[in-house]
Structure 1
Amino acid sequence: MAGCEVRSFIVFLCMVVTLVSTGSAKYARQVLLVSMDGFRWDYVNQTSTPNFDRMARQGTHALYINSTFITKTFPDHYTIVTGLYEESHGILGNRMYDPVFNATFSRENQESRWWDGGEPLWVTARNNGRKSATFYWPGSEAEIRGVRPNIWLPYNESAPFRPRVDRVMDWLVNDSIDFVTLYFHEPDKTGHKYGPDSTQILGKVREMDGILGYILDNLEKFSLKDKVNLIVLSDHGMTSIDLQRRLIDITEVIDMEEDVLFTLDSGPIMHINPRKDPRYVVQKIRNATVPHLTVYLKEEIPIKWHYGNNRRVMPIFATADEGWAIVTVGFSGGELMKVTVSFSGSELMKVTLGFSGSELMMVTVGFSGSELMKVTVGFSDNELMKVTVVFSDSELMKVTVGFSGSELMEVTVVFSDSELMKVTVGFSGSELMEVTVGFSGSELMEVTVGFSDSELMKVTVGFSGSELMEVTVGFSDSELMMVTVVFSGSELMKVTVVFSDNELMEVTVDFSDSELMMVTVGFSGSELMKVTVVFSDNELMKVTVDFSGSKLMKVTLGFSGSELMRVGL
C-alpha cells in the first residue's frame, strides 16, 4: 500500500488560531503561516495530539477545509497564498508543460515566468509597506512580479524542524517581520512512504504535534502571544492505493510510440499530449472501456474544478477513481516487463525498469539538457552487473560500477572540461586492487592506490604544471616501504622516506634553483647512521654526521667561497 494525495472531495487539516491583545489594540500586526504538508483532516483524531488540542482551546479551528482540485504540494500551496484557483495562478501541478515556453516545470524551477500568474501574500505585504520572510514555501525562491520577500531561503529538506522554528522566532522578535511562512514536508513524506493508515504516520503526527508545541511555547517565551496571529494548516490529505491491484496501465489502451508525444504526472491524474488528433486518442481510450478511468478532452474538463482554462493543461486529461492510480506499466503473461516514466523539455525524460521473467534486468533514468542524462543499472540472473551514471555539458560525464557474480569489480567516475577526469576503483574477487583518480589541465592528474590480496601496496598522487607532481607511498605485505614526494619548478622537488621491515631506513629531501638541495638521514635497524645536509651557490655545501651503533663517529662541515671550507671530527 502507498499513499496518494486525495482528490478535492477529500478534505485536509486546517487549524487556525488568532492570538490577539486583550488591551486597546484589537488586531495583532504580525502573521505566522505554518504548513504541515499532507496532514489529513482526521489525523488529530487517530492519536494523541495535546498541542493541537491546546491550540484549538486557545483560538479557533475548522474541522476540515476542501482542497483545490489537484491535490499536489505546489498548486495547493500557491492557492493558499494567492487565493486563486489553479487555472488562474497557473501552477497546475508539481510538474507541467507550457507550450508557449516549450519547456517543462519541475519543483526546482524558480523562473519568474512560471509564477507571475498570481501574487502571493509575501509580495502583497511588501507592496503595502510591510516586511515579509519565508522559511520555505513553493514559489518563495522566485522573484514574482518583480518582488521578493525581505528574507527567503533556498529549500533544504534536511534542515531540522526545531531550528526552523528558532529562526522564525528571531525574525518575529528581532527583525519585526510582519508576514512569515514556515513549511514542513511532514507528515506528507511519511504518508507517501508508508501509507496514510500506517503506524508510522501516527508516529509522525505525534512528532509534528511536538513541533506545534514548540512553536506555541516559543510564542509564550518571547511574549508574542498578543502580537502574532498564528495560522496552522495543510495543503491536502491522503488516501491509500493498492499498488498491486489498483493500477490503471494507460499503455494497455494507447500506443505510447504512435499515439502519444509524452505524458505528465501519474497517480490520480495524468496529462497526455497526443501525437495524433486528441479526439482520436480519447475515443480510443473510451472504446477500451477501462474501469475506474475517466478521460476528457481539455474543453470537456468540468468547469466546477476551475482547472481546464489554462494553456498548461494538455489536450487530453485523465482522472482515476479514488484509491486508483494511472501509470505507464508494461506486463507480459502477467509478469511485469517494463515501467516507464517520461517527461519533456530539460526535465526528467525517462525512468525505465526492465524485467525478464519477473527478474529485474535494467533500471535506466535519463535526463536532458545540462541536467542528469542517464543512470543505468544492469542485472544478469537478478545479480547486479553494472551501474552507470552519465552527465553532459562539462558536468559529471560518467560513473560506472561494475560487478561480476554480485562481487564488486570496478568503480569508475569520469568528468570533462578540466574537471575531475577519472576515478577508478578496481577489485578482484571482491578484494580491493586499485584506486585511481585522474584530473586534467593544471589540476590534479592522478591519484593511484594499489593493493595486492587486499593489502595496500602503493599510493601515488600525480600533478602537472607547477603544481605537485607526485606523492608515492609504497608498501610490501602491508608494511610501509617508501614514501616519495616530488614537486617541479622552483618548488620542493623530492622528499623520500625509505623503510625496511617497517623500520625507518632513510629520509631524503631534495630542492632546486639555489634552494636547499639535499637533506639525507640514514638509519640501520632503527638506529641513526648518517645525517647529510647539502646546499649550493655560496651557501652551506655539506654537513655530514655519521654514527655507528647510535654512537657518534664523524662530523664533517664543508663550505665554499670565503666561508668555512671543512671541519672533520
Structure 2
Amino acid sequence: MAHCIRYTSIALVLRLLSFGILFAQVHTGHKKSGNKVLLLLLDGMRWDLFGAEMPAMKKVQENGVRLDWVDTVFPTLSSPSMFSIATGLYPESHNIVHNKIFTTTEQVTFHWNEAFTDPKFAYWWDQPGVEPAWVTAVKQGLKAGSIAYPGGELPIHDTVPTKFVTNKINWTLKERIDTAMAYFEEDDFELVFLYWVDPDETLHNHGIDSPNMYQTLQEIDEGVRYLFEQISEGGLEDVLDVLITSDHGMTQCNERLVVQLYDDKIIDPQDVQFITGYGSMLQIEPQPGKLDKVMQDLQYNTPVFHAYKRDEMDKRFHYGGSKRNLQIIGIPDPGWGVTTDPNIKWGNANHGYDNKLMDMKSILFAQGTSIKKGYRARNMESVNIYPLICEILHLDPSPNNGSREHYQDMLALITPSTEEPAHPTHPTQPTQPIKMPTPPRECGTPQDHTLTVRTLSLVIMCLSISSLVLGVTTIYYCGRYGLCKNGLFSCCRDDEYRSHTGFISLANDIDLDDEDEV
C-alpha cells in the first residue's frame, strides 16, 4: 500500500509538472525561434546616405540587403516616425502625432525630451491596440531591451522592456553598442532597439554637405564596422539579424525662407486659440467659428504653406484620423519654415515635411542569418518593419498596417503566407491598406503628355546644349514625362524622381523600340 501511495504521488507530481509546462506554453503563446534581432536607428539618415562613402554600410549591403529607400510616415518627425517603426502603425492609428505633447484644453505644449522620459506622459504612448515590438516580445515570453529608443522606458499596457537605458544618457555610439552586445551575450536577449542621435543633430546645427556632416557620417560608419566586429567576436553571427534604419531624411534649409504667420499678416492672431509645432509642420486650433476664415487666410496669403482641415486631409497621409490633431494642419514647401515667433533661428537642415518628398526618405540595411545576401530590394513603407521583426522572432504580431508581401523578398527562406495581413480596427482608422495616389506634380510638364523616345531624345539634346551655353549644371527629370530645371532636389516625388548632372541619361529607364511610348 505504501508503494502504491508513493507511485501515485510521483505520478501526480509528474502530471502537475506537465500541466505547469503546458500552462506556461499557453500563457506565453510562444516557442523561442533561436533568432535574435538588433534594430539600430540612425536619426535623420537619408536614403542616399547624403552621397557619402561609407565602407561599413556598403559591406552590410554586400553581405545582406539594402532597400532602395524607406517610405517614412507623415509627419517626418522623430517621435511619430520611430513609433511607426516600432508598432507597424500609421500615426493616425498609434496617435503619436508630433514630437511635442499638446492639448487644446490646457493650451500647453510639452517638449519632446519630457515626452520620452517622464512617467506622467506614459498615457501619450499607451493607447488601446498599440503595441511596440518590445512589448509584443515580452508579452510572449522573450527578453527585449531598449537603449534610448523613444517610448522604450515608459510602461505600455503595463509592460516595459526587460532592460532599458533612458533617452537622457549621453553615451557614445560604441558604448550603446557594447550595452546591446551585453544584452545579447550575457542576458540572452532576443530583441534590442538601439537609438543614435546622429546624423540628425549634426545636420540641424551645421547643414548638409558641411565638413561636420562628413565627419559625423564617418563616425557612424566606424560604429557600424565596430558593431559587426563585436557580433563576430561574440559568436552571434549565426543567430543575430541586424536592421539598420532611420526615422526620416533631411533637406537643406535657408534662414531667409521663413513665413511669419503674424508679422507677415498671414492670419489674424485674434482668430487663433492655439498654435503648436515648429518650422516644417504646424497645427492650429482656431477660435470657435473661425475655422473657415483662418483656412481662407492661409490659402490666399501664402503660396508656400499648405493648410489642411484635419477631417478633410488627404488619405495618403494616414494622419487626419487622429483626434489628437488640432483642426488645421499646415505643411510648408521643403526648405521653408513657418512660425509665429519673430526671434526664431531657422536651422541649416530640417525634416517634418511631406513624406512623399525624396529628401524625407530613409534607409533600411539588413544583415543576418534570416536575410538574403547581396540583394537590392525595392522601397517599402516603414510600417512593414514591425511585422518583419515579428516574423524573424516567430512572434504573433499585434494588428498593424504592414503587409508581408512588401518585405518577404528580403528573407533568406521565403514561405508565402496565405493569411491576410493584420490591420488596426480602430473606428477612425483605415481597415485596409490604402493605395497612395500620385499627388499633384510640383514640377515638369503635365502628366497627360506622351513622348516618343525619338522626341524625348531631341529634347534632351537641346537641354544639354542649353546647359553648356547657359551654365545650367543640373537638370532634374521628374516622372516619365516631366522635366524640372534648376529645381530643388526634393521637389520631385518618390515615384517621379530621377536626377542627373549636366545632361539627362535615360539608360536605366527606357528599354523600348524607338517608336514605343515612354
Flag whether TM exceeds 0.5 (same fold): yes
Amino acid at match of 1:112: A
Deviation (angstroms), 1:89: 0.3
**1:198 aligned onto 2:195:** no
Deviation (angstroms), 1:105: 4.4
C-alpha offsets along residues 303-345 of structure 1, whole Å, 9 cap, x if unaligned?
1100011111111111111221112244xxxxxxx5599xxxx
The answer (yes or no) to whether the contact 1:38–1:234 under 8 Å persists in 2 is yes
Q: Which has a greater percent of strand?
A: 1
C-alpha offsets along residues 132-187 of structure 1, whole Å, 9 cap, x if unaligned?
11111110111001111010122235212211111111110010011111110011
Distance 2:82 2:345 in 1: 29
The answer (yes or no) to whether the contact 1:271–1:316 under 8 Å persists in 2 is yes
C-alpha offsets along residues 485-541 of structure 1, whole Å, 9 cap, x if unaligned?
xxxxxxxxxxxxxxxxxxxxxxxxxxxxxxxxxxxxxxxxxxxxxxxxxxxxxxxxx
**1:312 aligned onto 2:324:** yes
Instruction: Show the counterpart of 1:81.
Output: 86
The answer (yes or no) to whether the contact 2:280–2:338 under 8 Å persists in 1 is yes
Distance 1:253 1:298 in 2: 23
Instruction: Show the counterpart of 1:401.
Output: none
Deviation (angstroms), 1:62: 0.8
Distance 1:38 1:339 in 2: 22
Distance 1:27 1:56 in 2: 25
The answer (yes or no) to whether the contact 1:328–1:340 under 8 Å persists in 2 is no
The 5-angstrom pairing of residues 508-547 of structure 1 reads none
Instruction: Show the counterpart of 1:39.
Output: 45
Distance 2:109 2:241 in 1: 37
- Give the counterpart of 1:61 among 66, 69, 84: 66
Instruction: Show the counterpart of 1:370.
Output: none
Structure with more relative contact order (C-alpha pairs < 8 Å, separation 6 or more):
2
- Give the counterpart of 1:113 among 115, 123, 137: 123
- Give the counterpart of 2:100 among 71, 95, 99: 95
The 5-angstrom pairing of residues 367-446 of structure 1 reads none
C-alpha offsets along residues 98-124 of structure 1, whole Å, 9 cap, x if unaligned?
347876443212422111232100000
**1:270 aligned onto 2:275:** no
> TM-score if structure 1 supplies the norm length?
0.51
Q: Which has a greater percent of helix?
A: 2
Instruction: Show the counterpart of 2:155.
Output: 143
Instruction: Show the counterpart of 1:241.
Output: 253
Instruction: Show the counterpart of 2:219.
Output: 207
Query: Structure 1 residues 100 and 224, CA, compared in 2 at 3 Å: closer, same or farther?
Result: farther
Query: Structure 1 residues 189 and 39, CA, compared in 2 at 3 Å: closer, same or farther?
Result: same
Amino acid at match of 1:227: V
Distance 1:128 1:102 in 2: 40
Distance 1:164 1:94 in 2: 23
Distance 2:271 2:183 in 1: 53
Instruction: Show the counterpart of 1:283.
Output: 296
C-alpha offsets along residues 374-423 of structure 1, whole Å, 9 cap, x if unaligned?
xxxxxxxxxxxxxxxxxxxxxxxxxxxxxxxxxxxxxxxxxxxxxxxxxx
Deviation (angstroms), 1:200: 1.6
The 5-angstrom pairing of residues 113-192 of structure 1 reads 113-117=123-127, 118-192=130-204
Amino acid at match of 1:283: Q
The answer (yes or no) to whether the contact 1:75–1:94 under 8 Å persists in 2 is yes
Query: Structure 1 residues 100 and 116, CA, compared in 2 at 3 Å: closer, same or farther?
Result: farther
Distance 1:28 1:253 in 2: 62
Query: Structure 1 residues 248 and 102, CA, compared in 2 at 3 Å: closer, same or farther?
Result: closer
Query: Structure 1 residues 102 and 265, CA, compared in 2 at 3 Å: closer, same or farther?
Result: closer
Distance 1:115 1:329 in 2: 29
SS in 2 for 1:122: helix
Amino acid at match of 1:42: D
Deviation (angstroms), 1:255: 5.2
The answer (yes or no) to whether the contact 1:253–1:284 under 8 Å persists in 2 is no
Amino acid at match of 1:90: N
Deviation (angstroms), 1:249: 1.5
Distance 2:167 2:102 in 1: 22
Unmatched runs of 5 consecutive residues or more in structure 1: 1-25, 331-337, 342-569
Distance 1:133 1:157 in 2: 15
- Which piece of structure 1 moves more, 149-158 or 137-146? 149-158
SS in 2 for 1:123: helix
Distance 2:78 2:297 in 1: 32
Instruction: Give the aligned CA root-mean-square deviation in angstroms.
Output: 2.1
Unmatched runs of 5 consecutive residues or more in structure 2: 1-31, 347-518
SS in 2 for 1:258: helix
Instruction: Show the counterpart of 1:415.
Output: none
**1:50 aligned onto 2:51:** no
Distance 1:250 1:340 in 2: 15
The answer (yes or no) to whether the contact 1:168–1:180 under 8 Å persists in 2 is yes
Deviation (angstroms), 1:262: 2.3
Deviation (angstroms), 1:228: 0.7
Amino acid at match of 2:97: L
Instruction: Show the counterpart of 2:312.
Output: 300
Report which of the two structures shows the higher radius of gyration computed on alpha carbons. Answer: 1
Distance 1:279 1:256 in 2: 13
The answer (yes or no) to whether the contact 2:109–2:276 under 8 Å persists in 1 is no
SS in 1 for 2:227: helix
The answer (yes or no) to whether the contact 1:157–1:185 under 8 Å persists in 2 is no
Query: Structure 1 residues 166 and 182, CA, compared in 2 at 3 Å: closer, same or farther?
Result: same
Q: What is the aligned residue count?
A: 306
Distance 1:96 1:250 in 2: 22
Distance 1:154 1:128 in 2: 24
C-alpha offsets along residues 251-307 of structure 1, whole Å, 9 cap, x if unaligned?
12345641222211122211012224211211222232x121111222221111000
